[in-house]
Amino acid sequence: MGPSPMAARAAGGCSSAALAFFRLHPLRRAVRPAAAFAGGCSSGLHGGCQSRLAHSIVDSVLDELRSRRRVRVSAKIGLQGTKELPDNKIDKRTLQKGLLLEFQKDSERSLLAVVERPDGKKNWMVTDQNGILSSIKPQQVTYVVPGIMNFDYSRIDEFLEKTQDLLDPTVLECAWMELSEKDKSITVEEFAEIVYGTKESLESYCAHLLLSRDVVYFVKVESRDYSMYQPRSPAQVEELLRRKLAKETAEKELEEFVHLLKSAKELPVESKPPKTSWLVEEKVRQKIEALQAYAVDACDDEQRRLAGNILKAMGFTRTSSAALKLLINVGYFPVHVNLDLFRYDVCIRYTDEVLSAAEELLVDSPDADMHIRKDLSTLKVYAIDVDEADELDDALSATRLPDGRIKVWIHVADPTCLVKPRSIIDREAMHRGTSIFLPTATIPMFPERLAMNAMSLQQGKECKSVTVSVILNPDGSIAEYTLENSIIKPTYMLTYESATELLYMNLEEEEELRILQEAASIRAQWRHSQGSIDTAMIEPRIKVSNPDDPEPNINLYVEDQANPAMQLVSEMMILCGEAVAAFGSDNNLPLPYRGHPQSNTAVSVFSHLPEGPARSFANISVLRAAEMDFQKPVPHGVLGIPGYVQFTSPIRRYVDLLAHYQVKAFLRGDSPPYSAGDLEGMTFIASMHVKVARRLHSNSLRYWLLEYLRRQPKGRKYRALILKFIKDRMGALLLVEVGIQVTTTISRGKVGDEVSVTVETAHPRDDILTVREVVEDTEDSE
């Protein structure tokens, strides 16, 4: 079988000098390599060079070489001919002072050295080409240069320089073309004789270098006495050439990519290429995405290998932090990139199919409940939320009945007038589970034009809603309730801060807001009588307005859950959940009922702690796991109510949306779209994504809190509330002005006391926060 077309094409590229030796008799030792390469060859090996004469010459060379007794050099240096010695043949008897040899320094380097003296029973001391004296084992020796005695190590550089003039890798192709025809194996000296016309020391070592470095044409095989090199089959050469070409292409692409990285790295921040420019060309995108995956520890083996090579070429260590630093340096990532979005593979954008379906809903979506909607547009309606809320899905109204009892209305946005169960929009919402709220952005559960416009409550506009109305008994318990489809027109869109101001102002014209506050107060008292547990903590909230800037603006808000407006809204949301659970129970309706068993530890155990975060922290620490049921309500011991269904955030939470599907179907007189088993399965799917969303929110909030602290003046004092002692005087603290927890050693104080601390280290990327207690010096009065 002849060489394959690829191999033939490769061999066709042999230089004329490399082919010339086939026209010269290899046994004419007077012909030096320079003279041997003086001739020319005008065609490839499959042309004029592949002649019968060439074949006969090679055959004669091999036959004559193998028939000779190589004793002359053996007698001089004690070697078996001038063949390369295999590892197991190199020992005390074959090595001696003055020999020139090659040895394996490490996994990547081989060095030339001169033998100096024995070192112990088996090892030898050698001086290498760098002038370093070291001990080597016989197994490290890869080649003993023949015909050399008493070599001076200072001449190794000169010897190596001469080899460079003779190393022409194209002769490997030529020799393989000839030798593979008859599948002939060859020794190093035979190869030197054929290629250079001599087997002198320099030429033999060059032959060794060519053969030992070759990974395509020849393979080393061990015989009983010495090593041989056998031509590979044409099929093997074909495959190895393909791999070699692929490797060379990859190396060239890597070199070009590294050049791109270095160029981008040197540019000023405002001139760096945008992220999208790295994603246009496939081969560039593949490499930048490998670095990205490496930076977030989410890469496969190929990406890990590729990213490692890129980092090495750029002079970086092969670590995820180095990859992140590089991506920031070239402008692919902003300084404060949220890596969790990549770690958890968060879907930020929507597919074209989902967006198209959303647009169709906006254009044509008849309201199936219009004929049963109650017009409540004359009510004064308060929508109270954080100032940056994009999705407004609940609002409140209240009045005092002639008998003195309070009636409240909890109005909830009605996304189900647009979205139907099992539709493409519904499936998308289920697999997202919730909107994700980050300091830098909101990732809505529904496409933005639906969530923040068509579904959301809007001030002064008639909005479709589901209204839960409740009449309270004087003690705060529910006397009556109704659920109905409605039309409302929100009067006020208030932040918690502005709503609190209105409450403090006690304006006569805002009587409804005062009634809502009164309802919230008696509800809180009633729940407390039912065993509710206070879990209110100080909650930080951060808004970052320009997160892609190296130094973005950070606005910190610390929410005190004891804020009157927050307490008002919280109580009304709990009231709504209790009423919906009662509705489901009274009508045998499958719903996602939530419960929480009472703690095994009595709340009174922590009564000695001051009210507020310290007591809440202790209460939270002994809570039992929450429970869910999809057929009937279960008591919610923490809230102190007989049943609870999340219902007030159907735009933000998928489980709330499921409750709306069920309730809305009942109000229309239809069968509920989902059974208890269906609800359980879908709630489980959604809850997996909710857990990720919570982790994203928590991690991102903590990152920006640390960034906020990092920027504060060194030595600034913070009030810190002692929450508990972990061990001895190591305490868990809450920085009151920031709302973040930290641990440090405290010299004085008890749980619930405040101490002063300063921040020593705040490193957001590494999630490091350390503080030190500030002990105020006091002098005893005389």
Q: What is the mean pLDDT of residues 500-527?
A: 95
User: Do 455 and 504 fall within a single domain?
Assistant: yes
Give a yes or no: residue 341 inside a domain: no
Give a yes or no: residue 354 inside a domain: no
The pLDDT assigned to 37 comes to 29
pLDDT greater than 90 at residue 446:
yes
User: Do 292 and 249 fall within a single domain?
Assistant: yes
Place of tokens 């969530």: 451
pLDDT greater than 90 at residue 184:
no
Q: What is the mean pLDDT of residues 460-483?
A: 97
User: Do 744 and 767 fall within a single domain?
Assistant: yes
Give a yes or no: residue 240 inside a domain: yes
Give a yes or no: residue 6 inside a domain: no
188-192, 620-624, 764-768: which has the minimum mean pLDDT?
620-624
User: Do 663 and 593 fall within a single domain?
Assistant: yes
Give a yes or no: residue 735 inside a domain: yes
| Domain region containing 755 | 712-773
> pTM, whole model, 2 decimals?
0.77
Of the three residues 282, 307, 333, the one that is the final residue of a domain is: 333
pLDDT greater than 60 at residue 61:
no
**Full DSSP string of 493-518:** EEEHHHHHHHHHHT-GGGHHHHHHHH
Q: What is the pLDDT of residues 588-624, one digit of tens each?
A: 999 999 999 988 777 778 888 888 899 999 988 888 8
User: Do 241 and 225 fall within a single domain?
Assistant: no
- Compute the distance between CA of residue 13 and CA of residue 714 in angstroms, rounded to an integer: 70
Of the three residues 179, 206, 233, the one that is the final residue of a domain is: 233
Q: What is the mean pLDDT of residues 564-570?
A: 94
Strand ranges across the sheet with 478-488? 374-375, 478-488, 463-472, 406-413, 394-400, 382-385, 492-495
The pLDDT assigned to 608 comes to 87
| Residue 417: how many other CB atoms lie within 10 Å | 23
Give a yes or no: residue 579 inside a domain: yes
The pLDDT assigned to 68 comes to 43
User: Do 761 and 668 fall within a single domain?
Assistant: no
- Compute the distance between CA of residue 730 and CA of residue 746 in angstroms, rounded to an integer: 6
Q: What is the pLDDT of residues 519-553, one digit of tens each?
A: 999 999 999 999 999 888 889 999 999 999 999 99
Give a yes or no: residue 163 inside a domain: yes
pLDDT band at 182 (very low <50, low <70, confident <90, very high): confident
Give a yes or no: residue 26 inside a domain: no
pLDDT greater than 80 at residue 744:
yes
Closest among 75, 53, 55, 64 to 29, alpha carbons compared: 64
Q: What is the mean pLDDT of residues 567-580?
A: 97
Q: What is the mean pLDDT of residues 741-765?
A: 95
Q: How many CA atoms lie within 13 A of 440 on its CB side?
A: 20
Residues in CB range of 602: below 8 A, 6 or more apart = none
**Full DSSP string of 723-775:** EEEEETTEEEEEETTTTEEEEEE-SS--TT-EEEEEEEEEETTTTEEEEEEE-
The pLDDT assigned to 11 comes to 41
Percent of residues, the chain, with pLDDT higher than 90: 75
User: Do 228 and 268 fall within a single domain?
Assistant: no
| Residue 421: how many other CB atoms lie within 10 Å | 18
Joined tokens for residue 118: 């024995």
Q: What is the mean pLDDT of residues 491-497?
A: 92
- Compute the distance between CA of residue 153 and CA of residue 165 in angstroms, rounded to an integer: 20
pLDDT greater than 50 at residue 47:
no
The pLDDT assigned to 227 comes to 77
Q: What is the pLDDT of residues 74-116, one digit of tens each?
A: 333 233 333 333 433 454 447 889 999 999 999 889 999 999 9
The pLDDT assigned to 323 comes to 97
pLDDT band at 27 (very low <50, low <70, confident <90, very high): very low
Closest among 781, 775, 765 to 338, alpha carbons compared: 765
735 against 83, higher pLDDT: 735
- Compute the distance between CA of residue 1 and CA of residue 3 in angstroms, rounded to an integer: 7
User: Do 656 and 767 fall within a single domain?
Assistant: no
User: Do 405 and 512 fall within a single domain?
Assistant: yes
Joined tokens for residue 113: 């050295």
Of the three residues 184, 214, 233, the one that is the final residue of a domain is: 233
Taken as a whole, the chain contains a residue count of: 782
User: Do 294 and 379 fall within a single domain?
Assistant: no
Average pLDDT over all residues of the chain:
87
- Compute the distance between CA of residue 303 and CA of residue 637 in angstroms, rounded to an integer: 50
pLDDT band at 778 (very low <50, low <70, confident <90, very high): low
User: Do 176 and 112 fall within a single domain?
Assistant: yes
User: Do 507 and 480 fall within a single domain?
Assistant: yes
pLDDT band at 57 (very low <50, low <70, confident <90, very high): very low
Burial class (CB in 10 A: 0-12, 13-18, 19+), 554: middle
> How many domains is the chain built from?
4
What DSSP character marks residue 450?
I
Three-class secondary structure of residue 301 per DSSP? helix
